[in-house]
Chains A and B, each alone.
Chain A
Amino acid sequence: MLRFYVWLYVAFLYAPIAIITLFSFHSSPSLTFPFEGVSLRWYAKIFSDTTFLNSLWNSLIVGASTAAITTVLGSLTALGLARLKGRIQTVFGLLAFGPVALPGLFLGIALVMLFSQIGLQRSLVTVTIAHVLFTLPFFIEAVRSRIEYFDLSLEEAARDLGATPLQSFRLVTLPIIGPTIGGAAILSFALSFDEFIITVFVSGNDTTLPLTIWSMMRRAVSPDINAASVISLGLSIGMILIGGLLVWYQRRLALGARAKDIET
């Protein structure tokens, strides 16, 4: 009974996406049944739209930059949090989570306020800053539990055996938490790629993909939005799946190597 409910739940979650995907291949502009035939015309149309292509490129650039910056900041933070105890750890943990607890609206207007006061023009740079702010809590949360699990005494053992701090980090810590960090980096990329609400406020003349889709939506319900949407969600979901597979595969390799070492 419960199992049936859960599958209904999953179906409800995916149904609208499935419908949009279906109609993005529709040969006619109609968005209702009967289904008249398969065609790629809407994809051809959207790929010849320079605004779309530019914003897609911008989203990729912002996503990559966000992922890079968040990975550096977030990894340092997660490693640091594991070493702090008690109240400082809790306070900082709460602070780091702040940007997610508030609706994007508040973050957006606060950042707009800041940028105008310090005279920073709205551009892809401001968008990247906003995205780092938004993805950082997710990154830290994703990496933190893995790091807490990680036994600091392994690092101490390496130090006892004569390794420098840098060496012990490179040869002991990094291989163990590496896959998690890689996965979290891809998570940041995907979150930044989809981010819309804060971006609405802090973007300047260069738009990102969600913003383009939004302006298309506001004009009219037209079938090429379907194609644009499917491309957008295809990329996001694709990224997450690839990231997940990479993490899973690397973990399997690491576990396999360890098992072999124990056997010999």
Chain B
Amino acid sequence: MMKISRHERMGLALVAPSFLFLLVFFIVPAILLFVCSFWMAQAFRLIPAFTLDNYARALSSTGFYFLTWNALKNGLCTAILTVALSFPAAYFIVYRTRGNLLFYLILVSWFSSYLVRIYAWRVILGSNGLINTTLMQLGLISEPIEVLLFSPFATILTLTHIMLPFGLLLLVSALRDVKKEYVEAARDLGASNAEVLTRVILPMCYKGVVGAFMFTFVISAGDFVTPQLLGGRDGMTTGILIANQFRTAGNWPFGAAMAFLMLVAFLIVYVAFVRLLDLLRLAPGRRFHD
């Protein structure tokens, strides 16, 4: 039998309350949702059964694939933009400044509420919005640029704007995990800044960057509010469908099935992404020990 020290027993007792909370309100609902995806719904009542109809219905509808593809597109574009735009800022914060003032300044913007940011972009991008009217007043265009709003452009722009601070947070913590000694050693050996970045820093924060990418991807792909308010008719995503099932349409098992199919799609993207990085020789492999 494993000897559990008194220390560890105390630790287990201390984490027990929140473990229980997570069990009841996170794990059990997830399992319940999974089970429900095999049930049937009739006139707003749930009927426990075992049927694959919900999955079949989703997988056999072309609309489902189209909407899921929209969701994945949103997620991928947002994740790429967020990581690409935030990385230089994160690098600057970790290697070029002292103290946390700039970092906190950016983080504080995260607390300007989610909805407010969507509303702000809607006001700015509309055909009567700030950008269009200003451009027309300046005489640069004669008609409003319609595609600014209710388009994938609007959705991705807004989602990126929302995710930037969070992406920066993850990237800064990834960069801070890179051991300074390696960076100093490389500098001592005469490496230029670019070489230090590509051959020391990037491989060592690889996991953190992939983590930031995946986090941003999952949250933006699953987001249904932004596409609904800014995405226009062609910007619908599976998330909107699922949300509707649970709020108005009432076919919960169908919604649950679609939700789990989305999770599978996310998993596929994750595996494909890591494999792609591997193929492009961007993954560090076992080049260093940590």
Contact = CB atoms under 8 A, between A and B. Distances in A.
Interface string B9-25: 01111111111011001
A96 B8 contact: no
Interface residues of A, number: 78
A114 B25 CA distance: 8
Contacts of B222: 102-106
B30 A76 contact: no
A72 B18 CA distance: 9
Interface in B46-66: none
B137 A84 contact: no
A98 B33 contact: no
Contacts of B246: 108-109, 112, 201
Contacts of B16: 80
Contacts of A201: 243, 246-247
A193 B161 CA distance: 20
B253 to A, nearest CB: 10
B277 interface: no
Contact of B18 (A5, A82, A107, A136): A136
Chain A at the B interface: SS class: helix
Interface string A206-218: 0000100110011
Given A33-B134, A81-B15, A109 B256 contact: yes
A106 B259 contact: yes
A196 B89 CA distance: 28
B111 A190 contact: yes
Chain B at the A interface: SS class: helix
Interface string B198-231: 0000000000000000010011011111000100
Contacts of A92: 15, 19
Interface string B91-116: 11100100000101110110111111
Contacts of A127: none
Given A16-B121, A84-B12, 9 more contacts: A19-B123, A33-B134, A80-B10, A96-B18, A101-B218, A103-B219, A111-B29, A233-B113, A236-B113
Interface of B: 7-8, 10-19, 21-22, 25-26, 28-30, 32-33, 36, 85-86, 88-89, 91-93, 96, 102, 104-106, 108-109, 111-124, 126, 128-130, 133-134, 137, 161, 164-165, 215, 218-219, 221-225, 229, 239, 242-243, 246-247, 252, 255-256, 259, 263
The list of the 6 closest CB pairs from A to B, nearest first, reads A103-B222, A80-B14, A83-B11, A16-B120, A110-B29, A80-B15
